[in-house]
Chains A and B, each alone.
Chain A
Amino acid sequence: MKTKQRENSSNLVKVAVDIGSTIIKIAQLDHNDAQLSQQFFTRDFDLGVAPQVKSLLEGVGADEILMCSSANGGLRAGIISLTEHYSGIVVQNQALNAGANPLFVKRLSDEQGDMRFVDVLIVCGGIDCSDAPLFESMIENLTLVNFKFGSLIYAGNSYFADSFRQRFPEAVVIANPLGGTLTNGSNSVFEALRNAYLEDLVYKEGISELNQQLSMKIRPTPEVVSSGFHRILSNRSNIKVTGASLLFDVGGATTDIHYTVEIVRDDSLVRPGAASSIARYVFTDLGIVASRDSTLQQMRSHPLSYEFLNLVLTHDVRETYQLLREGEYVPSPEVLSYACLFLSLDRFSHGKGSGLPVADLNKVSQIILTGGATQNLSEAIVANILRMFFSDVGVDPAILIDKKYQVWIDGITWFSDVVN
């Protein structure tokens, strides 16, 4: 599949590549990071990803190649923390921003565990200090027998790192993100998971050869989207936003939301980690391909599913509703995308999801939809869906459907350390 040809090779400076599960997207950029062209290629699983990407980039005279990938759907992470509202939420937020999918946050005192397999299990808690008898005893009694994981990371109170490693020699110790004062800690979990993601990708996808040729690391696509969102919010993008914003990235397996934290309600018990103006949450059961069935299942049982269909369909609403209820409805990808948007807004406005805060959607002044599944959506229908979650008093948020994948371009060409 090839949608657009290169337009002006003389201005070409950078090439951005996104390796997806089924599609490889390539964008050619000039010296201002403006897009000269975009191309989409179906993944060739017989050839393998590294040879295919090398072949696609052959003869392209770019100074720089930037690459990201969502091919593995993100690392699955599990978190065991001293508290949910301090260490748990800080680590979860860094994991999400690094593009990982936290499946659970358990307390150190939790004896039941979680037997779902995670690629990385992170143990954390406390600030760095020697006088922490509660944490010390919990670490001493921790067994991890009720957890299934690939790698183990210790990101807790650094004074107890050695004793943790004595009990779990395979553990990798990283800096405590809470530091010594609960604030201004390091981005250690973010960095560790970003690197782990790359290693996982290299191992599973066989792109180590490709990675060696790149001047920069391959980045996880959700982290790139998060960077793009951050750049937009910092007034450093051609996309202009007017205030509190919410970005949806609807995909085949998951629906990601990235949001400015000021939309979290003051009375929300769950809050994103401190010292970050944006946060991410991933709905692992909402998507239009791999998660199609679970999305449909939820639409079927949702009390407002008729009202939803009334907004997105132009005719046969009653008949479609009946088919949906009976499990016989075969929706188009667009309807499924609208359903992902509807369900994620519904959950976000009620905080229905592990680690998901309650949002005050009335504070949102801008909605951005990005990703392949949103390309054919109608802004008018999106606006109608949004109105289901907004009160009468307030401003209708501006809606932007990112049809040129500008958020991705903004993210892959921007490095937050330039600013920070």
Chain B
Amino acid sequence: MATPSKKARLNNIDQYRDQVISHPLARGIELAEVQTFLASLPQNRYPGYAYHNRGVLSCVQPRGGVPLFDDQLLLTKKLNEAGADFIPLTIDSCTRQGQYDTAAQLLQRSEAEGKNYLNGYPLVNHGYELTRELYQGIDKPVSLRHGTPDARLLVEIAIASGITEIEGGGVCYCVPYSEGFPLDRCLLYWQYVDRICALYSTEDRPIHRESFGPLSATLVPPAIAVTIQIIEALLAAEQGVISFAVSFGQTGSLIQDVATAKVLKELTQHYLDKFGFNEVRHYLVYHQWMGQFPPQREKAAALISGSTLIANMICADKIVVKTVDEALGVPDMETNAEAVATVKYLLHTFRCAEPITSPLIESESALIESEVREILDAIFDMPGDVFWGSVYSAFQQGYLDIPFSPHADNANKLITMRDKNGSIRILDRGNVPISDENLEMEKQLLASKGGKLDKSYRDLLSDINMMV
């Protein structure tokens, strides 16, 4: 039996770190110099400070990464002027896979031809010295958005660049993203990332970590999303992270979104306290719809508006926004800035001081909470000597199962469907340790709302593409 513990902390990280930063593309990063640089940044560059001062309005964060430095600089300025509270740096897919040589070649070609051959900013190749210049005069936190299973070098360079928010985790950046990257290796590599974030943190200027809650963004039941968020918060806390955001993606059901937010906040606090991580400050991030977006701009705008209202209703600390061109590809900077302005306007106009509630939300919350506790209790009870090992085993045994994940360690036995209100219901629990009572409740809810227990392939596709 292995529960989260500070004893799991990587206290001998220097020997690992020496080799990671000996990579030529790390360009001689030095711990002391980076610490001095981080201390010289304005306090507003730290997410904890932004969250503390947000009042009742959620912070707004767009996505954005382009290969060329000058273009990224322009994008950064544009998003800053549009009112983004967090500035994004989205990384290209070659860098995410550790293919730095390929990224270098494509960057060179992009520079030579003035055309983007990379789908993000190749941070490792640009290096930390140049990237620091991107954020001169920026008085807001910068967030690293990537999807990298082995992010050790990338995160070293990101922090040295002055990026103070690191998204990702050993589960959320592996199982939904990759077919073959070994989950156990990924969990260990993210221990390193968490530890590095902790080592660069000070009490008033912590490097902030954020998990990616939408996962596969395809019919993920709230209980699974919440459980994995809590697990990643605990894994980060084990390594000494003191500022962490849990997140989830819009489910497609208003009731379920509000209930999920409630349970996620409460149980994250509960389990951090339970295992002695009282020092961790945690926040809630809400992702606008992560599934297929409507190609019509008017529908996309309506979807963005609707999810912004939900962010207000749940009092999210931050909302990660989409654009009206989401269905068409990577948006241009004007569209991106427009999305920020729209969301800011809506947040301000329909601000909400406290999360809304209702009997329906309370009963939905009770079901999600009960399921999360059942799954987590089963994982904590697994034999083993370290918590990350239990998480790894939980996937192998199907205790954790993310619908539509391509990963080899994912059981894909958990079957979910939408009820008539659009809520995601569990039809077949697979090996996920949810009690018979809760499974029966899920089925009753599916049936009572006029849903069918024998949906066809077309119905399933319809559930997935409900916004289109």
* Distance of A234 Cα from B183 Cα, bound (Å): 12
Which single member of B182, B396, B408 contacts A420 (CB below 8 Å)?
A: B396
State the total of A-B contacts with C-beta under 8 angstroms: 91
Q: A365 an interface residue at 8 Å Cβ cutoff?
A: yes
* Distance of A363 Cα from B182 Cα, bound (Å): 15
Would you call A420 and B393 a contact (CB within 8 A)?
A: yes
Would you call B188 and A395 a contact (CB within 8 A)?
A: no
The 8 A CB mask of A52-92 against B (1 = contact, 0 = none) is 00000000000000000000000000000000000000000
Contacts of A396 in B (CB 8 A): 22
Within 8 A of B (CB), among A267-302: 271, 274-278
Would you call A398 and B98 a contact (CB within 8 A)?
A: no
Number of chain B residues close to chain A: CB under 8 A: 41
Would you call B19 and A243 a contact (CB within 8 A)?
A: yes
Q: B201 an interface residue at 8 Å Cβ cutoff?
A: no
Would you call B409 and A275 a contact (CB within 8 A)?
A: yes
The 8 A CB mask of B9-26 against A (1 = contact, 0 = none) is 010100110011011110
Q: Which of A234, A244, A261 has the most CB of B within 10 A?
A: A234
On whether A274 and B396 interact (CB within 8 A), knowing A240-B16, A420-B389, the answer reads: no
Contacts of B386 in A (CB 8 A): 236, 419
Contacts of A276 in B (CB 8 A): 182
Q: B139 an interface residue at 8 Å Cβ cutoff?
A: no
Would you call B393 and A419 a contact (CB within 8 A)?
A: yes
Contacts of A184 in B (CB 8 A): 396, 398, 409-411
* Distance of A417 Cα from B179 Cα, bound (Å): 24
Would you call A419 and B385 a contact (CB within 8 A)?
A: yes
Contacts of B385 in A (CB 8 A): 236, 418-419
Q: B450 an interface residue at 8 Å Cβ cutoff?
A: no
Q: A130 an interface residue at 8 Å Cβ cutoff?
A: no
Would you call A183 and B180 a contact (CB within 8 A)?
A: no
Within 8 A of B (CB), among A224-270: 233-236, 240, 242-244, 260-262, 266
On whether A235 and B188 interact (CB within 8 A), knowing A240-B16, A395-B23, the answer reads: yes
Would you call A365 and B389 a contact (CB within 8 A)?
A: no
Chain A minimum-CB-distance residue to B407: A183
Contacts of A331 in B (CB 8 A): none
Contacts of A235 in B (CB 8 A): 10, 188
Which single member of B19, B179, B183 contacts A365 (CB below 8 Å)?
A: B19
Contacts of A32 in B (CB 8 A): none
Q: Give the dominant DSSP class at B's interface.
A: loop
Which single member of B22, B179, B183, B189 contacts A395 (CB below 8 Å)?
A: B22
Given A184-B409, A419-B384, A420-B393, list of 4 further CB < 8 A pairs? A183-B411, A183-B412, A363-B98, A419-B393
Q: A391 an interface residue at 8 Å Cβ cutoff?
A: yes
On whether A398 and B19 interact (CB within 8 A), knowing A184-B396, A262-B182, A420-B393, the answer reads: yes
Would you call B24 and A393 a contact (CB within 8 A)?
A: yes
Closest chain B CB from A368 CB (angstroms): 14
Q: B184 an interface residue at 8 Å Cβ cutoff?
A: yes
Which single member of A236, A243, A278, A393 contacts B150 (CB below 8 Å)?
A: A243
Which single member of B20, B25, B98, B396 contacts A242 (CB below 8 Å)?
A: B20
* Distance of A181 Cα from B398 Cα, bound (Å): 12
Within 8 A of A (CB), among B149-183: 150, 152, 179-183
Closest chain B CB from A187 CB (angstroms): 10
Which single member of A181, A233, A417 contacts B185 (CB below 8 Å)?
A: A233
Provide 28 A-B residue pairs closer than 8 Å at the C-beta atoms, listed in order of the A residue: A181-B412, A181-B413, A183-B408, A183-B409, A183-B411, A184-B410, A234-B184, A234-B188, A235-B188, A242-B16, A244-B185, A261-B182, A262-B185, A274-B179, A276-B182, A277-B182, A277-B183, A277-B184, A278-B182, A363-B98, A393-B101, A395-B24, A418-B383, A419-B384, A419-B392, A420-B389, A420-B392, A420-B396
Would you call B182 and A418 a contact (CB within 8 A)?
A: no
Contacts of B150 in A (CB 8 A): 243, 262
Would you call A393 and B25 a contact (CB within 8 A)?
A: yes
Q: B97 an interface residue at 8 Å Cβ cutoff?
A: yes
On whether A275 and B389 interact (CB within 8 A), knowing A240-B15, A242-B19, the answer reads: no
Q: B100 an interface residue at 8 Å Cβ cutoff?
A: yes
Would you call A266 and B408 a contact (CB within 8 A)?
A: no
* Distance of A165 Cα from B258 Cα, bound (Å): 57
Chain A minimum-CB-distance residue to B102: A266
Q: A394 an interface residue at 8 Å Cβ cutoff?
A: yes
* Distance of A315 Cα from B119 Cα, bound (Å): 53
Would you call B410 and A243 a contact (CB within 8 A)?
A: no
Task: Rank and list the top 9 A-B pairs by shortest CB-CB distance, nearest first.
Answer: A277-B182, A274-B408, A275-B408, A242-B19, A419-B389, A242-B16, A395-B23, A277-B184, A183-B408
Q: Which of A236, A240, A278, A420 has the most CB of B within 10 A?
A: A420
Contacts of A420 in B (CB 8 A): 384, 389, 392-393, 396
Would you call A181 and B411 a contact (CB within 8 A)?
A: yes
Chain A minimum-CB-distance residue to B384: A419
Contacts of B396 in A (CB 8 A): 184, 275, 420
* Distance of A276 Cα from B407 Cα, bound (Å): 11
Chain B minimum-CB-distance residue to A365: B19
* Distance of A233 Cα from B99 Cα, bound (Å): 22
Contacts of A240 in B (CB 8 A): 12, 15-16
The 8 A CB mask of A366-401 against B (1 = contact, 0 = none) is 000000000000000000000000010111101000
Which single member of A244, A261, A363, A418 contacts B384 (CB below 8 Å)?
A: A418
On whether A261 and B389 interact (CB within 8 A), knowing A183-B411, A184-B398, A243-B20, the answer reads: no
Would you call B383 and A391 a contact (CB within 8 A)?
A: no
Closest chain B CB from A279 CB (angstroms): 10
* Distance of A184 Cα from B175 Cα, bound (Å): 14
Contacts of A419 in B (CB 8 A): 384-386, 389, 392-393
Would you call A271 and B182 a contact (CB within 8 A)?
A: no
* Distance of A184 Cα from B412 Cα, bound (Å): 9
Chain A minimum-CB-distance residue to B10: A235
Contacts of A266 in B (CB 8 A): 97, 99
Contacts of B97 in A (CB 8 A): 266
Would you call A261 and B180 a contact (CB within 8 A)?
A: yes
Chain A minimum-CB-distance residue to B19: A242
Contacts of A278 in B (CB 8 A): 182
* Distance of A184 Cα from B385 Cα, bound (Å): 22
* Distance of A326 Cα from B37 Cα, bound (Å): 63
* Distance of A184 Cα from B394 Cα, bound (Å): 11
Would you call A260 and B182 a contact (CB within 8 A)?
A: yes
Which single member of A233, A363, A391, A395 contacts B19 (CB below 8 Å)?
A: A395
The 8 A CB mask of B187-204 against A (1 = contact, 0 = none) is 011000000000000000
Q: Which of B180, B183, B383 has the most CB of A within 10 A?
A: B180
Contacts of A181 in B (CB 8 A): 411-413
* Distance of A262 Cα from B185 Cα, bound (Å): 9
* Distance of A233 Cα from B150 Cα, bound (Å): 14
* Distance of A419 Cα from B20 Cα, bound (Å): 27
